[in-house]
């Protein structure tokens, strides 16, 4: 079961769009540096930010776990960050959660439901980007000249 709610905003950091899939809570928001996808789920008996993907114009990166150090994204090797981020959520979410120390979440997360709805996560991230920005194939998020 999925549920989405849009929280549009016009400031440099808008309220996130939210999506509930397979026992996880996903939020997408845009801030000056780019788009951020946060993945929340059960850990330590409470809802916790588990993973974060920062689809930034400059220096895209991700965090496994969310409060861990930045893992720099290599566009030359991996292509557009958002495409890779969504593929990881679709195909390797279980491994990422285990690597982040969230094996307890695996008992309650429906990985198949998340994989089957990865296109909604992709759309949510694309839709959170305001006018004046666009996506360049193979490169990712860029500021568009007016």
Q: In the chain, what are the helix, strand and coil shares in percent, each to the nearest 5?
A: 30, 35, 35
User: Torsions phi, psi of 57, nearest 5?
Assistant: -60, -50
Which residues touch 118 (CB under 8 Å, ≥6 apart)? 86, 87, 89, 90
Q: Both tokens of residue 11?
A: 């400031």
Q: What is the pLDDT of residue 145?
A: 77
Among candidate residues 32, 39, 43, 17, the one with its CA nearest the CA of residue 123: 17
Name the pLDDT band for 10 (thresholds 50, 70, 90). very low
**pTM for this entry:** 0.88
Q: Quote the mean pLDDT of the chain.
A: 90
Q: How far apart are CA 129 and CA 22, in angstroms?
A: 25
Q: How far apart are CA 120 and CA 1, in angstroms?
A: 12
Summarised one tens digit per residue, pLDDT across range 104-118 is 999 999 999 999 999
123 exposure class (CB count in 10 Å sphere: 0-12, 13-18, 19+): middle
DSSP letter at 75 equals H
Q: How far apart are CA 51 and CA 143, in angstroms?
A: 26
Summarised one tens digit per residue, pLDDT across range 52-95 is 999 999 999 999 999 999 999 999 999 999 999 999 999 999 99
């Amino acid at each position: 079961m999925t549920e989405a709610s849009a929280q549009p905003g016009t400031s440099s950091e808008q309220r996130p769009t939210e999506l509930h899939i397979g026992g996880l809570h996903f939020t997408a928001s845009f801030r000056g540096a780019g788009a951020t996808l946060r993945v929340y789920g059960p850990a330590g008996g409470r809802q916790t930010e588990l993973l974060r993907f920062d689809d930034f114009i400059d220096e895209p990166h991700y965090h496994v776990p969310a409060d861990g150090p930045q893992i720099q994204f290599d566009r030359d090797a991996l292509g557009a960050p958002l495409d890779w981020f969504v593929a990881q959520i679709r195909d390797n979410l279980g491994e990422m959660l285990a690597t982040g120390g969230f094996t307890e979440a695996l008992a309650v997360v429906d990985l198949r439901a998340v994989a089957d709805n990865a296109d909604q996560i992709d759309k949510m991230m694309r839709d959170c980007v305001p006018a004046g920005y666009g996506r360049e194939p193979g490169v990712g998020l860029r500021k568009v000249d007016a």
